[in-house]
Amino acid sequence: MTRALRMTPPSHPPGAARVCPPGGGPRASRNRPGTLDVPGPAGLGSGGREGMRMRHGHCLCGAVGFEWDGPPNWVGHCHCESCRRATGSPLTSFVGVPDSTWRWTGTAPARFASSPGVERLFCPTCGAPIAYRAERFPGETHFHLALVDDPAGLTPTAHFHWKERVRWLAHAEDGLARE
């Protein structure tokens, strides 16, 4: 089966809040307070589909974990001011994962509404940023790539919000799209 990869976010309308590449996510559980309900595919982790690979990741203290089965939608570096402030770093690398393919393992993350329709998820124990989601990009959650246990094969293919990058960080000519 061939999948189209969406690697570029839509343009921002004038005056709109800056947001990272596409996002969306699970919702608070009505049955289990303090947890999230995340739909998963039948046979998650069964290994029955060719080309699929179970990926795992977790925060600094290990309390919040996540896993997904299958290929991501995209992998890229975000240079927007919001992501820089949320992480305290000059850029953030994300992997966009379809909501139907992942689930939380361990403690559910805490949430911060950083702007209307945007949530940033983080560990309530160690404070490590975990993921980003936005109503404007439904059906996908963006996990911080540096949290993935074995990121082999998850190579960024683009720089997002390149015009917002910090000028003091020298970037090698990496050949990636700069949007």
CATH for 84: 2.170.150.70
| pLDDT confidence of residue 52 | 61
Mean pLDDT of 10-35: 35
Is pLDDT above 90 for 140? yes
Is pLDDT above 60 for 15? no
Residue 83: domain span: 54-178
161-164-166 Cα angle (round to 5) = 125
Q: How many domains does the chain have?
A: 1
| Residue 42 within a domain | no
| Residue 132 within a domain | yes
| Residue 5 within a domain | no
| Residue 26 within a domain | no
| Residue 43 within a domain | no
| Residue 101 within a domain | yes
Mean pLDDT of 9-20: 35
Q: Tens of pLDDT along 58-83?
A: 999 999 999 999 999 999 999 999 99
Is pLDDT above 70 for 98? yes
| pLDDT confidence of residue 176 | 86
| Residue 47 within a domain | no
Mean pLDDT of 133-142: 94
Residues contacting residue 92 through CB under 8 Å, at least 6 positions apart: 20, 77, 78, 83, 84, 86, 129, 144
Best CA proximity match to 93, nearest among 12, 15, 11, 174: 174
| Residue 35 within a domain | no
